[in-house]
Amino acid sequence: MKKKFIEIIAIIGLLVTMIPFGNVHAAGANTSSNDQSLAKIQKKGVLVMGTSPDYAPYEFQTTKNGKSVDVGMDISIAKQIAKDLGVKLEIKNMDFDSLLVALQTGKVDMVMAGMNPTPARRKSVTFSNIYYQGGQDIVINKKDNKIYKNKDSFVNKTVGAQTGTMQYNMAKKQIPNVKVKGFDKGADLILALQTNKIDGIVMEKPSAEAYVKNNSQLSLINGNFNLSKDESSSAIAFQKGSNTLAAAVNKSLAKIKKKDLINKEYLKDAGSHMKTNTVDTSMWHYWKYFAKGIGYTLLISAFSVFFGFILGTILAFMRLSRNKLFKAVSTAYIEFIRGTPLMVQIMFVYFGIGLVVNIPALTSGIIAVSLNSGAYVAEVIRGGINSIDKGQTEAARSLGLSKNYTMRYVVLPQAIKNIWPALGNEFISLIKESSIVSIIGVTDLIYQLKIVQSDTYRGVAPIVVAMLLYFVVTFSLSKVLSYFEGRMKHAN
Ligand code: ARG
């Protein structure tokens, strides 16, 4: 009873220590009277732009000399802004629905992603002036041309939209009885449409046009949505109250508008890249993407296995120890980690802890996966040690062996045979589960898979390649592990 009580207190303690993280932003927010936002950027010498490059012609990726580069009209505008501010531009890519969180937690200085300055968003961020007006359309399969005319044809049907976007909310509000499915990436939406998971996609007009131009099986209809000016335009988002920065950016935007650079240069440039995307869409052509992805996946896995193993061993011995405090801390940790999803833990490390110390995405990923794995490894080791009959320890101790000696030479050598296979399982799932780090923009295999999808406008082939690569890696590891398992049996 008392033990349980200590455990519960420890878990509550753990939670309470995390609460302050939630408030840091409010304290650090700019107040308009002493707004340092512009001065800060100029002092740093870099302007960090957050975007989600799956939205041609606004922002998308293309291959240049085997490397992926971000292009599109938003990127061109941002380059001009950085030039006018006299700073360097740095681009951080992530899923669209993470962008405003990244802005509020200071991971990026501005968000530029074809974003509509909706009233709801205006409440939490400051927007620049409008720089482009697009409008909203619906993409459908060409074969359905006769069935769908505008938004009202989708009553009782299913449409798709990117998660966290204005289109998602608009479809829900303006089409009676419609089912709206959210997807993270533009390429996933197209794939869902082509495999008839959804009947149409609500998309910004220029982006819809880009997809339709690149895929002869798709076509486009006018949405006929009721739109305010804000809902059909794009603006740049800054942290709330960053008025000096917004004013400086507005100056650049005015200059761009005056010269009509968006229509005369930026959109044309974007168009030229869209064509190069369709030159060679074979998977071989993209081997470098997959190679880079698998490299990161292996890197994260290797580090996390290493740190997870060390942490797990420490936790296991803490939990097995007679010291009540050690035991309670370790139990609370293990229960807490096992009771929360890895995805949430990753976001917590990157965005939450990131409020206090700025940890890069890759490091955050490694930390989160290691912390997570530690809890599971601890249980595997504890289980293995507990599986050794008490009689063994008693016998060894009565022969006069010390406690440590007994653990090292009697219990552990036997326990390791029980631990090994379970540990192997843990490492194999770690390789697969590490794929979630792509949500914070780590360029692992899953991340690359999505890039290849949107670059080639092909849905299934990249998935198959990624699947095979994961299998090759986990299968080889499992072979290596069972080789050692076999050797351990002989050693007996
Ligand atoms: N305009 C829409 C919005 O603000 C969607 C923008 C999506 N952008 C992107 N880069 N994927 O909600």
Domains parsed from the chain with CATH numbers: 31-131+233-279 (3.40.190.10), 136-226 (3.40.190.10), 285-491 (1.10.3720.10)
| pLDDT digits 0-9 by tens, 185-209 | 888 888 889 888 899 999 999 999 9
Mutate which of 49, 55, 98, 205 for ligand 1 pocket (most atoms within 8 A of beta carbon): 55
Cα of 233 to ligand 1 centre, how many Å?
10
| pLDDT digits 0-9 by tens, 38-77 | 999 999 999 999 999 989 899 998 877 767 789 999 999 9
Check residue 5 and give its pLDDT.
60
Looking at residues 405-413, what average pLDDT do you find?
Answer: 86
Cα of 211 to ligand 1 centre, how many Å?
15
Cα of 54 to ligand 1 centre, how many Å?
9
Cα of 160 to ligand 1 centre, how many Å?
13
Cα of 129 to ligand 1 centre, how many Å?
17
Residues with CB under 6 A from ligand 1: 52, 54-55, 58-59, 96, 113-116, 162, 165-167, 204
Q: Is the peptide bond before 117 cis (omega within 30 degrees of 0)?
A: no
pLDDT over 60 (residue 395): yes
φ, ψ at 447 (rounded to 5°)? -60, -45
Q: Which atom of ligand 1 is nearest to the CA of 54?
A: 11
Q: Which run of H or E residues covers position 347?
A: helix 342-347
Q: Which atom of ligand 1 is nearest to the CA of 115?
A: 4
Cα of 419 to ligand 1 centre, how many Å?
48
Expressed in angstroms, the distance from the first to the final Cα of the chain is 42
Residue-averaged pLDDT of the chain? 88
SS3 360: coil
Q: Which atom of ligand 1 is nearest to the CA of 52?
A: 10
Strands of the sheet with 158-162, listed across from one edge? 179-183, 158-162, 200-204, 136-141, 218-222
Closest CA to 165 of 185, 148, 179, 142: 185
- The answer to whether the CB of 72 falls within 8 A of the CB of 38 is no
For residue 213 the two structure tokens come to 């131009």
Q: Which atom of ligand 1 is nearest to the CA of 58?
A: 10
Cα of 279 to ligand 1 centre, how many Å?
27
Q: Which run of H or E residues covers position 60?
A: strand 60-64
Check residue 34 and give its pLDDT.
80
SS3 54: coil
441 beta partners: none
Alpha carbon nearest to ligand 1 atom 5, residue: 165
Check residue 408 and give its pLDDT.
86
In terms of DSSP bridges, do strands 60-64 and 67-71 run parallel, antiparallel, or are they unpaired?
antiparallel
- The answer to whether the CB of 194 falls within 8 A of the CB of 151 is no
- The answer to whether the CB of 444 falls within 8 A of the CB of 290 is no
For residue 45 the two structure tokens come to 């010498």
Cα angle: 105, vertex 109, 113; to 5 degrees? 100
Phi-psi region of 441 (alpha: psi -120 to 50; beta: other; left: phi over 0): left
CA 491 to centroid of chain Cα atoms: 45
Residue 359's pLDDT band, with cuts at 50, 70 and 90, is confident
CB within 8 Å of 229: residues ≥ 6 apart: 130, 133
Check residue 280 and give its pLDDT.
67
- The answer to whether the CB of 186 falls within 8 A of the CB of 207 is yes
Looking at residues 145-160, what average pLDDT do you find?
Answer: 94
pLDDT over 80 (residue 326): yes
Check residue 166 and give its pLDDT.
94
For residue 472 the two structure tokens come to 């090759």
CA distance 130 to 230: 8
Q: Which run of H or E residues covers position 125?
A: strand 125-127
Q: Which atom of ligand 1 is nearest to the CA of 166?
A: 12
Cα of 163 to ligand 1 centre, how many Å?
9
Residue 27's pLDDT band, with cuts at 50, 70 and 90, is very low
Closest CA to 274 of 204, 213, 218: 213
CA 448 to centroid of chain Cα atoms: 12
- The answer to whether the CB of 221 falls within 8 A of the CB of 150 is yes
Rg (Cα) of the chain, in Å, rounded?
Answer: 27
- The answer to whether the CB of 183 falls within 8 A of the CB of 142 is no
Distances (CA, A) of 332 to 8, 16, 183, 329, 384: 8, 13, 35, 5, 20
Neighbours of 276 (CB within 10 A): 13
φ, ψ at 145 (rounded to 5°)? -50, -35
- The answer to whether the CB of 200 falls within 8 A of the CB of 131 is no
pLDDT over 80 (residue 24): no
50 beta partners: 92, 111
Q: Which atom of ligand 1 is nearest to the CA of 134?
A: 1
Residue 491's pLDDT band, with cuts at 50, 70 and 90, is low
